[in-house]
Structure 1
Amino acid sequence: MNSLTVLIFFLSSLTISLTTTTTTPSGTIQRTTKQQILASIPPSSPDNSQPFLTSPSGKYTALLLRRETAPTAGGFGNDFCYIQVQETSSGQSLWESECAPVSTANTCSLIFDDNGLDVFDGSNPVWDTGADNDFLETLQLVDEGDMRIIDRDGELAWKASDDPRSNQGCGLPGSAGLAPESPPFAKPLGGDVSNLPFGQGSQQGGGSAISNPSLGLGFNGQQEQQQQQQQQQPLVDNTAFESGCSRRVLGGFFGVGLGLVIMVVVMVHGHV
């Protein structure tokens, strides 16, 4: 083997070595397929966190997490899958994706695709970064804790710091993505009249207060309304002296008067 052949072989080996080293720098993931799976967690898995990227110094770690709904959270039993960037030593949350509900029967997966990072419930997408670029190429986690997506031209397509969110407590009472503890019509009747369904009022105090939905009043309210209407009506004079007497009353007065006249006449004639 002459010296020229040895030189060519050495340069080729060096080029291959440099290429391998520079294409996968620390803290980055290169996208090599249309939908590249970064992490996945099956249902009821004892390992509910999957790290997929570490910053160059190791200070921060990005993970896919799966959390069950807490029994007292008032939800409908969904699991939640989301991304978290945390401080490696303490586990403190620095950034999180939204709480994405997933079926308890499906595997949740994190995919690097044309949307950037995409969380899947089985085969159904439930959250993504919204980068929407066919040429997304590199995912980075830098030593400041920010996660970034770069396209093939080296342009920034998305970064986590533009959408800050952390410590959501996915699956815990009051966390995002959970339904209310109970629908409003499921609360017991009684107490606050204004909050009872279908216009029903409290039956305390001995009187029924079931209301008329069209009027928004109970029976007691209807009586008060009728009394107010009666008070507002014009007065009607029903006395015999001022609005006309009956024949019986007039006949009585006429008889008394005639008797007095006859008595007076008799007395006068008697003296004569």
Structure 2
Amino acid sequence: MDILSLAGIVLGVAAILLGNMLEGGLNSALINGPAAIIVFGGTFAAVLVQTPFSVMQSAFTRTIWLIYPPDHSLDELLNTLCKWSQTARKEGLIGLESSAKSATLLAKKGLNLLADGQTPTAIRSSLELDLYRQEDAGLQSAHVYESLGGYAPTIGILGAVLGLMQVLGNLTDPEQIGPGIATAFVATIYGVGSANLMFLPIAQRLKFLVRKEYLYNELIIEGLVAIAEGEHPNSIRYRYENIKKGAH
């Protein structure tokens, strides 16, 4: 469980509210229904136009990674791969079938390919297709949040213009001036604030986790290919060091 990501968003919002209070402002003034509808409704509508619903659904599903990121420990995976290598050398490739039950989808597919006697080249080609597909899906999810972060400030400005139009249209009615100005400025705060405190940081966090997942799956492929080639477990550790260097 990763609390830091969620804590970062909460801390950012709290810093703005605290700063507003120290300046003598009322936090209740930052709550504006019309501004929220304009900014968030318009932003999500714009992203929905450019993004297939399945991609948006996947992006929102991956948001849980901020709190519960996938367990992609390369050190633990290396130990698992070495155990699989030892099993293959002692019991043959057929002995790896039982290991596939508790493996990830990519590893399970690779272990089954090994047990079926596929060549190292065929195993690599098949698994790399899944590797690139998973990476592309993850980057598309991150792109959804990047798009939200790109549109939100612009829609916020649109909300500000609408609020100012209300003010200019009711200059003779002082009671309408206050709400119009509030909508104008709060809409801008919603747009800029949500983009820089939520959407864009979430996008970058997802990219980091996608990269970590890619390295994890890359090690799976290298390990399984090494097993298929009959290499010693120590050679898997050598490949691991090369992949680990590529992560930095």
TM-score, length-normalised on structure 2?
A: 0.21
Structure with the larger helix share: 2
Higher normalized contact order (CA 8 Å, seq sep 6+, divided by chain length) = 2
Structure with the larger strand share: 1
